[in-house]
Structure 1
Amino acid sequence: MVEFNPYHIFWTIIGISIVYIFRTRLLRLLQTRDLLLLSSPPYSSLLAGNSYDFVQDEIAGDLDRKWIKEHGLAFKIRGTIWEPKVLYLADPLGVQYVLETRGYGFHKDESAKIGRLLTGRNLLGTEGPAHANQRKILLPGFSQSVLKELVPLFIQLSDRLASKWNDLLLTQTSITVDVRSWLSRLTLDAIGQGK
């Protein structure tokens, strides 16, 4: 009869953990091997990587412009310690290549899978043929001719929003505007009044 030893369980858990960590690191290296040739800005936090730098950026976009000037239109940035390195792409042709030409050839990160669990198989959470089918259904509504017809509506609604913000500023000496909330309302108005 085999004798029960608690150390066997302990060492089994340690062994499985080491194999899991090694496997995760190897997969991450394979997924990001093409990024090895790209330059990378220094990061100020070992745990948060460049994410911390983005949070500390006082004026949105200043850090982006600085890095683009230093590293070019394509470079890698480091996420948090448990995230892989990420391609930062500011080249319009590169973005077009990723989004249109080879959109299905790029790996979606774990957040897409988590989003799928939370919201179901929506346009952002699906991949492959299901995503292509959903996109084919939605694309006619975003054609250039349809969007041109909606420009006057967008201008009208934007003017109305600017007028409301001006009215708020005239009635108070100091005000904090929740832009996200107002833009959500603007979006709903546009959807409701659109054709």
Structure 2
Amino acid sequence: MTHATATLPPDTALRTLDELPGPPGWPLVGNAFQVHLPELHLELERWIAQHGTVFRAQFGRDKLLVISDHALVTQVLKDRPDGFRRPSRLAEVIEEIGIQRGVFTAEGEAWAAQRRMVMASFSPGHVRAYFPSLVRVTETLKRRWQKLQAQNAPMDLQAELMRYTVDVISGLAFGQDTNTLERDDDIIQHHLDKIFPALWRRMNAILPYWRWVRLPVDRQLDASVKVVQQAIDGFIAQARERLQDPARRAAPQNLLEGMLVAADEPGSGVGDAEVAGNVFTLLLAGEDTTATSISWLLYLLVRRPEALARAVQEVDRVLGPADGGASWTPERFAELDYLEACAHEAMRLKPVGPFNVVEAQKDTVVGDVKVPRGTMVFMVLRQDNLDDRFFPEARSFQPERWLGDDAPGTVGNAKRVSMPFGAGPRVCPGRYLALLEIKMALAMLLQNFRLEGVATPDGREAREIMSFTMIPEGLRLQLSPR
């Protein structure tokens, strides 16, 4: 038996899952029908209040261990990929839908090989080289918002930002200008938006009904996967054509080209199928997560006017007057400390992944609990983020807490508690790009517009909806010219 935690005192008595507290379940299905799937994260947080930071639950036949202590979560995340892996069910669902495995679901040696390629492509130096293209996409977003604002057209914040992030990731990773921001036809984003919710539903289904009965939603999913796969095949074909140039092959200019060059190496163990899987993964992850983080940030920022005013002052001081991005440089964006603090604070309060799930690869121990191989471990990442022991006035939006080496009054550095990008060997490879995208979108907005409102149509607080990521429901953006 291996241990996923620090060494326990020799006289510590280990507990089994059955000995843990937890919500009482129903026969056969356990707690599966006691949760509303779009609010699963909230149910987990309510159970923590009732049963503590370590408890058990059961969804169908699966017995679950639920943990929320950030130190314990960190130890589990660091015990990957040897001790824990992503749920095998996720890989099965992804392949069943028709998506090849990318680095997100790959395991073992396949993961290690793909991880090296992906990490290199998302390095700060690579993103820096892409900076001019990122500026162009952000300027396109500005023009779109100016047009919509002049027409007094309603602006669906989440949809607008997803267009932006699809264009960013398509340019950086694949060398393609999808330009979804200036198109209203059958854009790739419409199809990507159907895939993430479908993964979420199938991952949490009690029975895989779609294997026997195809509902309209399943047929729509099949069609969307086909459209996106055809687009990816086109990306790969165009990249291979560009790589006929020996100079280009010697110095690939984007992630896709780099992966294809690596796949062509003798004994690489990587082929076009794995390349396609990573393209698909990056389109999905690059669209949804960053767009959602920006949505939540704007929602929180508009509710604290003094923070919004300070962000505007920093943008004016560092970047100067709006000039179409002509004076934007990576060095200047590195000076936007308060904007970055705003991003970290928004991700602390509204992480796109409020919980993470892993599967034990072997019999192990988490804390003082025996965890059999195959057990799902739900790690609730937001619980300690909202605890006053670690963040004074934890439920308030205070970007200032991220400007020091240690958040005042916390136990250790704030980044050890709040982990929106995960931790350990499988930390998100795109975190540097995500922060730059967030800062760039926010800087463009604050330079050119007044942020009048970010609200739901009925004026109520935005609901948190789990659909693989935690998205805000129904936010509308209201701007005026600056």
**Aligned ranges for residues 24-43 of structure 1 at < 5 Å?**
34-43=16-25
- TM-score normalised according to structure 2 size: 0.25
Residues 70, 101 of structure 1: CA spacing in aligned structure 2 closer, same or farther, 3 A cutoff? same
Please state if 1:128 is matched with 2:108.
yes
Q: Distance in 1 between matches of 2:45 and 2:105?
A: 30
Q: Distance in 2 between matches of 1:95 and 1:35?
A: 17
Give deviations 1:130-153, integer Å, cap 9, x for gaps. 11221222223445x4699699x6
The equivalent residue for 2:81 is 103
Give deviations 1:143-168, integer Å, cap 9, x for gaps. 5x4699699x69x95xx58x57x849
Please state if 1:69 is matched with 2:25.
no
Q: Distance in 1 between matches of 2:126 and 2:48?
A: 31
Amino acid at match of 1:89: I
Bigger relative contact order, structure 1 or 2 (CA pairs below 8 A, ≥6 apart): 2
CA contact (8 A) 2:23 2:57 kept: yes
Moved more, 70-79 or 46-55: 46-55
Give deviations 1:72-95, integer Å, cap 9, x for gaps. 33333221x2x4122333333333
Give deviations 1:34-87, integer Å, cap 9, x for gaps. 533432223478637245413374xx75433322222233333221x2x41223
Specify the SS of the correspondent of 1:103. coil
Report which of the two has the higher share of helix: 1
**Aligned ranges for residues 5-154 of structure 1 at < 5 Å?**
34-43=16-25, 47=29, 49-50=31-32, 52-55=34-37, 57=39, 61-79=41-59, 81=60, 83-106=61-84, 108-117=87-96, 118-142=98-122, 145=124
Residues 139, 100 of structure 1: CA spacing in aligned structure 2 closer, same or farther, 3 A cutoff? farther
Q: Distance in 2 between matches of 1:92 and 1:102?
A: 16
Give deviations 1:80-131, integer Å, cap 9, x for gaps. x2x4122333333333333333333226333323423532232233221111
**Which ranges of structure 2 fall in alignment gaps of 5 or more residues?**
1-14, 173-253, 255-482
CA contact (8 A) 1:77 1:87 kept: yes
Q: Distance in 1 between matches of 2:19 and 2:164?
A: 44
Q: Distance in 1 between matches of 2:63 and 2:121?
A: 35
CA contact (8 A) 1:112 1:124 kept: no
Specify the SS of the correspondent of 2:36. helix
Q: Distance in 2 between matches of 1:192 and 1:121?
A: 19
Q: Distance in 2 between matches of 1:63 and 1:168?
A: 42
Residues 112, 54 of structure 1: CA spacing in aligned structure 2 closer, same or farther, 3 A cutoff? same
Residues 102, 191 of structure 1: CA spacing in aligned structure 2 closer, same or farther, 3 A cutoff? closer
Report which of the two has the higher share of strand: 2
Identity of aligned residues (%): 24
Specify the SS of the correspondent of 2:23. coil
CA contact (8 A) 1:40 1:71 kept: yes
Larger Rg: 1
Amino acid at match of 1:47: V
Residues 131, 168 of structure 1: CA spacing in aligned structure 2 closer, same or farther, 3 A cutoff? farther
- TM-score normalised according to structure 1 size: 0.53
**Which ranges of structure 1 fall in alignment gaps of 5 or more residues?**
1-32
Amino acid at match of 2:113: N
Q: Distance in 2 between matches of 1:75 and 1:50?
A: 16
Amino acid at match of 2:66: Y
